[in-house]
């Protein structure tokens, strides 16, 4: 089996099934500003940290010192690696004077002199501009041979947008494309492994973020995570945190299942979720991930209805995480939830606000597949997850929830509805679906008092009627 070198980027390693193949040549293609230079430098320093030797040759007019000044600001930069294990040189002058034959000799010479096991050739499009198509094709073919003979990884960077029929793409071992894309006012970066000879890849486009830490790649969770979970073997029930609801559910929620609380604003979805979390314990650690209400506000809300979240928070059996709704990368978010749940061996997970996740998706149609992947990952570690999702207010005589393919991606669906009758605002709860289990199908009125959710009409409604 051919040895693989980590790219230094966890997500890209996942896309390429472990990284770059030793003795192989790759093209990294993308427009200016897409992150090619950062990605290549990140690979070099990761390679050096792993004990290798790296060489970065630029064909651009930009000097190596200017490149170094920029890269030195990144977190992955290690000044101690220079100039022994990591070296920057320019091939621009040789290319101008001697053309492609001279550049090929320079690459061979520097690889050997530096004893490099990884090399970046930045600005391949410059080499193409000084030669014919046939000469350039021969140059790429020779470079691939040089990489193989040196038993090194060669990464060629180009900003040219050349399609898959171009000869260089058929000759190299791998082809990675970076893109800058826009949708409406939203701009985002993607990466796609178009080719990786002899290795399994995660196909399609995946999101990229560039920060001071370097390039981060987030594989789409529905393609990267779906194969991991094991079948749910737990048959017991988990209490919802409310005795009356447990009765409707004939014992509680099936352990390891995914439940959707759906309804209009003010219906009591978050309140029911707080009931669920209030039973977090050492035996059933809890995790909440929310977008709209801050942890401080949630704690105050819980106290106002007699639910104790302070104790499990203080003893470490409950974690509340909050992320403001924005242009988040959903694949990063899902991994964070799964990672936190695994770390604390959570059994009770509450995700409040699927609308925030849907609004962060560039392609909203991914939503059911993302939630399915998240639910399966949580189910595999024995966690039962409760989601909330907001829908417009329903008429009280509407017996069924509006059609939503999302409901097919969860095990259980509870509809919380609201309406006004007479002069009173009323809340209603219906169990719409409880996978493979019987349940009470009737709609029940409920209200929220100083002890949380209580079934039955609000006594204050009757008092108001009598007073009227």
Is residue 396 scored above 70 in pLDDT? no
Is-contact 303 310, C-beta < 8 A? yes
pLDDT tens, 24-73?
A: 999 999 999 999 999 999 999 999 999 999 999 999 877 778 888 889 99
Between CA 291 and CA 396 the distance in angstroms is 28
- What pLDDT does 20 receive? 96
74 C-beta neighbours (distance < 10 Å), count:
17
Least confident range of 156-165, 247-256, 361-370: 156-165
Question: Among the residues of 50-196, which ranges form H helices?
Answer: 64-71, 92-114, 124-129, 133-150, 167-171
pLDDT tens, 94-153?
A: 999 999 999 999 999 999 999 999 999 999 988 888 888 899 989 999 999 999 999 999
Between CA 340 and CA 64 the distance in angstroms is 42
Is residue 399 scored above 60 in pLDDT? no
Is residue 231 scored above 70 in pLDDT? no
Question: Among the residues of 162-280, which ranges form H helices?
Answer: 167-171, 221-224, 243-248, 269-278
Cross-strand bridge partners of residue 181: 188
Sign of torsion, CA 453 457 461 466? negative
Is residue 184 scored above 60 in pLDDT? yes
Residue 325 confidence class, pLDDT cut points 50, 70, 90: confident
Burial 17-38 (b: 16+ CB within 10 A, else e): ebbbbbbbbbbbbbeeebbbbb
Between CA 302 and CA 287 the distance in angstroms is 15
């Amino acid at each position: 089996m051919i040895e693989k070198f980590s790219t230094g980027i966890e997500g890209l390693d996942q896309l390429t099934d472990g990284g770059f193949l030793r003795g192989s040549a790759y093209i990294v293609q993308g427009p200016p500003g897409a992150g090619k230079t950062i990605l290549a430098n990140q690979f070099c320093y990761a390679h050096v940290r792993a004990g290798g030797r790296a060489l970065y040759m630029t064909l651009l007019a930009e000097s190596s010192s200017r490149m170094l000044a920029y890269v030195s600001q990144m977190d992955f930069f290690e000044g101690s690696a220079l100039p022994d294990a990591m070296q920057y040189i320019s091939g621009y002058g040789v290319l101008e004077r001697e053309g492609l034959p001279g550049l090929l000799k320079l690459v061979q010479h520097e690889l050997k002199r530096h004893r490099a096991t990884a090399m970046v050739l930045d600005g391949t499009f410059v080499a193409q501009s000084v030669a014919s198509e046939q000469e350039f094709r021969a140059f790429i073919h020779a470079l691939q041979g040089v990489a193989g003979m040196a038993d090194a990884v060669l990464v060629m960077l180009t900003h040219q947008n050349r399609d898959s029929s171009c000869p260089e793409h058929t000759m190299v071992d791998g082809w990675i494309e970076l893109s800058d894309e826009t949708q409406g006012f939203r701009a985002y970066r993607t990466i796609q492994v178009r080719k990786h000879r002899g290795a399994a890849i995660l196909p399609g486009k995946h999101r990229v973020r560039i920060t001071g830490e370097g390039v981060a790649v987030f594989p789409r969770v529905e393609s990267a995570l779906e194969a991991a979970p094991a079948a749910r073997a737990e048959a017991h029930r988990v209490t919802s945190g409310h005795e009356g609801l447990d009765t409707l559910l004939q014992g509680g929620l099936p352990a390891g299942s995914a439940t959707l609380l759906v309804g209009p604003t003010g219906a009591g979805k978050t309140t029911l979720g707080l009931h669920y979390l209030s039973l977090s314990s050492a035996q059933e650690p809890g995790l909440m991930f929310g977008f709209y209400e801050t942890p401080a506000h949630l704690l105050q809300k819980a106290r106002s209805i007699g639910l104790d979240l302070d104790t499990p928070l203080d003893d470490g059996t409950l974690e509340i995480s909050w992320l403001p709704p924005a242009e988040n990368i959903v694949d990063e978010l899902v991994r964070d939830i799964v990672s936190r749940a695994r770390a604390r061996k959570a059994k009770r997970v509450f995700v409040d606000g699927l609308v925030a996740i849907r609004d962060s998706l560039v392609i909203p149609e991914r939503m059911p597949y993302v939630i399915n992947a998240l639910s399966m990952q949580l189910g595999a570690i024995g966690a039962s997850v409760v989601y909330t999702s907001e829908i417009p207010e329903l008429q009280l005589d509407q017996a069924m929830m509006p059609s939503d393919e999302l409901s097919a991606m969860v095990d259980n669906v509870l509809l919380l509805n609201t309406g006004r009758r007479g002069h009173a605002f009323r809340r209603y709860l219906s169990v719409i679906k409880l996978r493979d289990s019987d349940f009470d199908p009737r709609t029940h009125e409920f209200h929220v008092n100083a002890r949380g959710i209580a079934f039955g009409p609000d006594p204050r409604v009757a008092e108001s009627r009598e007073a009227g």
